[in-house]
Structure 1
């Protein structure tokens, strides 16, 4: 059986990175299904859900059949196609993303992925830049595309993180006027991505700053779940017919309580300021085709915080877990 280099996570107690290893004998190259392609992966990025799910203790053992290879985003060349695959051929360069509980994740040299979860990578762009859009751009697209129309005013809470930098650009591409929040150090970054107004949370309470704007926003996208009372205070800045789309939230008891409380408050509001937890795009392929088109046109660009080599993965996760990454943390898999 052919083997490859890959990281394995073994569900256990303790921090996520302490349970990661690269087996010296390699790991088997996974087989593909009829509707899948096998990708020789060049680069990937890290996402908080990688370690948040894995650090749920007993719950993580129910979710994962360990050992697994973590990682969601892929960018590489097709080396094998399933018998029912029609859109791709050997040597096509593709990008896309896996689900959060995939057994064969992107932190390996070869990755099986469904045909409908990828698109052709835009030509002329570096793999690092292409992969740094990936699932964060797809998530932001799902949070915005169904609701935003040209001329809408959108507030994006958390504009400098992985989803935030994508959300600003996608909202602008959809014709919205964008207000976002970030720290003082990231104000210029958010402006460079197209934000019309940037609120600095270091200079004052975000809820208070939004209330000063008045009920002007058509939609709110919350990437971080902080402050926890943002939805409950939204009647002061979100129009009655507006949507509050939750993207990021703590994966703990406090986060669960916040989500349940927001949903109940939304139901009691009888359709006003509906609270919605973002759902994954129903058709990833179509989403990635659109994102690739914007990248090719220069309307969507990656923001790479830092890059690490394959063996430096623990350090890469340490950087991600600081919560201070501007954009994405990228890991090189191979040349």
Structure 2
């Protein structure tokens, strides 16, 4: 491949998030290349981006903490693409890679991005660039919510099975050999079953807390991808084994969420607080975790679920759709004008 690096690039960028980042994203056809693109730091890689996918963290940070970003800001952490130049000894120019950048740098909604070693994994030939772009934050988060806490044969309850993290969580749990119960709304029940869920609770027609209590099942792990309120945790002793753990990834940058989360951590069980171990998990970028997920994808055990695809010029629409909170799997944004050939 050509290693010529242009002086400018196309990128979806914002300078203000007043009214929501989705209403402020514009394509800059002469955006500056990432800092350090011409002189890469040790172990870093310059990637020509093919696809990116937005995550809730992308809009939550932009909308609530816009001052932490340099302007104009290029959002998105997740990417797939091709190596242009690298100081990572495990890679070479021309290799296809995927992973994520780190906030608040972000930058994956531009044609070029600089990525550290932990967030840049080789892409197996059997996995498409589109599917790989979806792994970034949600695939890694799902992996790290499940793998450390269970073993084959364990029972897992996943609250929120049809969103980005949920669809990966169901499949990773099944790849590990676990029994999976999950929740979703009625239209997504068949999707969750098709991903391997053994039992699905339609939260539109069932009270989830009551359904769990009535079932009599004792789970080894609960992963709450929703965490709208802590009620599932306060009552977890009814359906989570004493040795089990309650894990959540969700959260809102609000005073209510902060107060409720502090209660979970600080309110002792003898005063009516939670009676099970609680963990709040955020994705810790690790290349070997990406490699394991990619291997499962190559084997057909894990796949991406892409609800909609958008062009770079439509990035605002992609963010608006994500903000509805009703996304099935992921929304995909094509950053490159053309997908690079992998022949």
The equivalent position to 1:34 in structure 2, one of 42, 50, 72, is 42
Q: Secondary structure at the match of 2:232?
A: coil
- TM-score (norm: length of structure 1): 0.92
1:87 corresponding residue in structure 2: 90
Q: 2:17, 2:126 → 1: CA distance?
A: 42
1:226 Cα deviation from its structure 2 partner: 2.8
Q: Does 1:100 align with 2:95?
A: no
Q: 1:116, 1:288 → 2: CA distance?
A: 9
- Asked if the contact 2:15–2:72 (Cα under 8 Å) also holds between the matched residues in 1, the reply is yes
- Asked if the contact 1:7–1:108 (Cα under 8 Å) also holds between the matched residues in 2, the reply is yes
- The Cα offsets for residues 126-183 of structure 1, whole Å up to 9 and x where unpaired, read as 2111111222110011111110111111100000000000000011112211000000
Alignment gaps of 5+ in structure 2:
1-5, 339-343
Within a 5 Å distance, the mapping from 1:209-224 to structure 2 comes to 209-214=211-216, 216-224=218-226
1:45 corresponding residue in structure 2: 53
2:24 corresponding residue in structure 1: 19
1:241 Cα deviation from its structure 2 partner: 1.4
The equivalent position to 2:132 in structure 1, one of 130, 137, 141, is 130
- Asked if the contact 1:242–1:274 (Cα under 8 Å) also holds between the matched residues in 2, the reply is yes
The equivalent position to 1:147 in structure 2, one of 139, 146, 149, is 149
Q: 2:229, 2:216 → 1: CA distance?
A: 18
1:239 Cα deviation from its structure 2 partner: 1.2
1:272 Cα deviation from its structure 2 partner: 4.6
- The Cα offsets for residues 196-220 of structure 1, whole Å up to 9 and x where unpaired, read as 1101101121111111123511110
Which 10-residue stretch deviates more, 42-51 or 125-134? Answer: 125-134
Q: Secondary structure at the match of 2:183?
A: strand
Q: Secondary structure at the match of 1:168?
A: helix
Within a 5 Å distance, the mapping from 1:1-335 to structure 2 comes to 2-30=7-35, 31=37, 32-56=40-64, 59-61=65-67, 63-82=68-87, 85-102=88-105, 104-214=106-216, 216-265=218-267, 272-281=275-284, 284-334=286-336, 335=338
Q: 1:92, 1:324 → 2: CA distance?
A: 35
Q: 1:87, 1:318 → 2: CA distance?
A: 37
Q: 1:44, 1:267 → 2: CA distance?
A: 43
Taking only aligned residues, the RMSD between alpha carbons, in angstroms, comes to 1.9
- The Cα offsets for residues 259-301 of structure 1, whole Å up to 9 and x where unpaired, read as 11221246768995111001423x5110011011101100110
- Asked if the contact 1:241–1:272 (Cα under 8 Å) also holds between the matched residues in 2, the reply is no
- TM-score (norm: length of structure 2): 0.90
Q: 2:17, 2:108 → 1: CA distance?
A: 21
